[in-house]
Amino acid sequence: MTGSAISFQGVTRRYPQKGGSDVVALHDIWLDVPQGAITGIIGRSGAGKSTLLRMVNGLERPSAGKVIVNERDVGAASDASLRRIRREVGMIFQHFNLLASRTVAENIALPLEIAGEDRAKIAPRVTELIERVGLTAQAGRYPAELSGGQKQRVGIARALATGPRVLLSDEATSALDPDTTRQVLELLQRINRDLGLTILLITHEMAVVRDICSHVAVIEGGRIVETGETYEVFSKPAHPTTRSFLTGVTGVAVPQFVAGQMRDAPQGAEAEAVVQITFIGSHATDPMLARLTSERGVSVNILAGAIEEIGTKPFGSLIVALPAARLEESRRFLEEHGLLTEVLGYVG
Amino acid sequence: MSANLIPILWQATLQTLYMVALSTLLGTLIGGPLGVFLATSRRGELLSAPWLNTVLGLVVNAARSTPFIILVVAIIPFTRLIAGTSIGTTAAIVPLTIAAAPFIARLIETAIREVDAGLIEAARAMGATPMQIVRKVLIPEAMPGIILGLTLAVVSLIGYSAMVGAVGGEGLGDLGIRYGYQRFMPEVMLAVVVILIVLVQLVQSAGEWIAARFDKRAPRNRGR
């Protein structure tokens, strides 16, 4: 498989249970992770994304199927060759996993010590890595003295120490605030560009995929339900899970005064449906709501909205209220024109 | 207290320090690796050897549940084999070591089990061997806990060392019994108790100070 840094080929992972049927964490996964790209695997907790990621460096082994990394079968590797493979695959973690007893510089030196590198070679390499992640002033500090974002920078520098070709990220920004998340994502993006490093990350946040991933795979119940270039998947989401992640990504919320009186079912002929409309790319610039009103005579009340960009393409979300009686017809009209709709509730 | 008792007290203090220091050292040499192994050898762990883990756990528990005074007399033949004699300060180090080793093993096991499993995973992801993980991650990260555990062990051994008078081990406890109780010299007993209190205080403070030096988990500008 040329062009893919990591290739999952029919990977299944079962956990045998005592006296019962096996728990299947991953079910027949086929996925190619392109060389030099940032690929995101998005899924809810328990979807199997963590297990999938750990297959790449052999922390988990497949029950069936193959995991090929840099043209080597990780699942079948011996302990010794697995340790060599792991030096070519860096990993960063949600909770950073830094050694509290080591300074920033010493933490970054750890994988080099483990690889049996000469002390004389370690020092300049560590200095270079510290510079790359912008922590020169903190080199002698201990992790307890750092902010979350700084700790993750140390984690990134440590993961890069042995010069890996692949970087795995396990929810690396999930413990960080939005500002810090953005900085860490920018750093990952820069590393991807500067070093040509393949990055495979798992997340439950669509914003992470939106911000840095060129490719995405959506995982649900141990199966990949959708995969492709992020923009493609975002613009034509086929699976309900993808749609629900998409509608959650814009950060647009129902205003308080509406949310307070929302119900699960319409009441009375005057009831209005509260609908979230998500639109991508060229659709974002089409006056679809105006057409819904002029062509179908449906009056639409805009409650909230925002437009953002994925790459250079507009991506937006609106929350509107429209007559519940005209709901199905309106949804069909909007969906036919490439917009996503999701009914959030009804107001009476 | 008459002045000629001072040298006797001084010598007894040195004997106690000698016994405690040497049995702590030997107990750590045996109990340290044992504790590391117990902490890492359950099923699915780093050095997974569940049967050996179970057997060693039983041996450790057996040694720890034997009252020290019984241990001292029960192993006299073994003591003679190791020390060449079953009487005296040096001979007393054998039962003290045998009592200290399993105790220290459990304390070190507990300290190592406190290390976040995420650090082991990170080290495995770097391609570390199990022994590298033990040397470079588990032991350094557990160091504050290990030091506090050893402090506890030293304090306990100071107490145990008072009982080895039963096999002519001498030291402070023996002095207190022989002079203070059997020769009706309560001032000697009092002096012995005061010296022991001071010793334990010094050991405890030193242990806490060293542990704090190793502990980088709290920011420097907060607390110790």
Question: How far apart are the CA of B214 and the nearest CA of chain A, in angstroms?
Answer: 7
- Name residue, tokens 């080591």: A102
Q: How many CB pairs under 8 A join A and B?
A: 69
CB contact under 8 A, A86 and B140: no
DSSP B75: T
pTM score over 0.90: no
The whole-chain average pLDDT of chain A stands at: 90
Number of C-beta neighbours around residue A178 at 10 A: 9
User: For residues A325 and A285, is the Cβ–Cβ distance under 8 A?
Assistant: no
The alpha carbon of residue B114 and the mean position of all alpha carbons in its chain are separated, in whole angstroms, by 19
The whole-chain average pLDDT of chain B stands at: 91
The amino acid present at A243, given as its one-letter code, is: R
Q: Is the pLDDT of residue B60 over 90?
A: yes
Distance CA A106, CA A154 (A): 10
Which residues of chain A are within 8 Å of residue B217 when distances are taken between CB atoms? 100, 144
The alpha carbon of residue B3 and the mean position of all alpha carbons in its chain are separated, in whole angstroms, by 34
| Greatest alpha-carbon span in chain A | 80
Helix (H/G/I), strand (E/B), else coil: A15: strand
pLDDT at site B222: 47
Q: What is the ipTM of this complex?
A: 0.87
CB contact under 8 A, A111 and B126: yes
Q: Is the pLDDT of residue A128 over 80?
A: yes
% pLDDT > 70, chain B: 96
The alpha carbon of residue B156 and the mean position of all alpha carbons in its chain are separated, in whole angstroms, by 7
Of A97, A110, A142, the CB nearest to B118: A97
CB contact under 8 A, A57 and B214: no
Answer positive or negative: Cα dihedral of A75, A76, A79, A84.
Answer: negative
The model's pLDDT over A259-271, given as tens digits with 9 standing for 90+, comes to 888 888 888 888 8
- Of the candidates A150, A93, A341, the one whose C-alpha atom is nearest the C-alpha of residue A237 is A341
The two tokens of residue A331 are: 């949804």
CB contact under 8 A, B216 and A100: yes
Number of C-beta neighbours around residue A45 at 10 A: 8
The model's pLDDT over A133-189, given as tens digits with 9 standing for 90+, comes to 999 999 999 999 999 999 999 999 999 999 999 999 999 999 999 999 999 999 999
Distance CA B221, CA B224 (A): 8
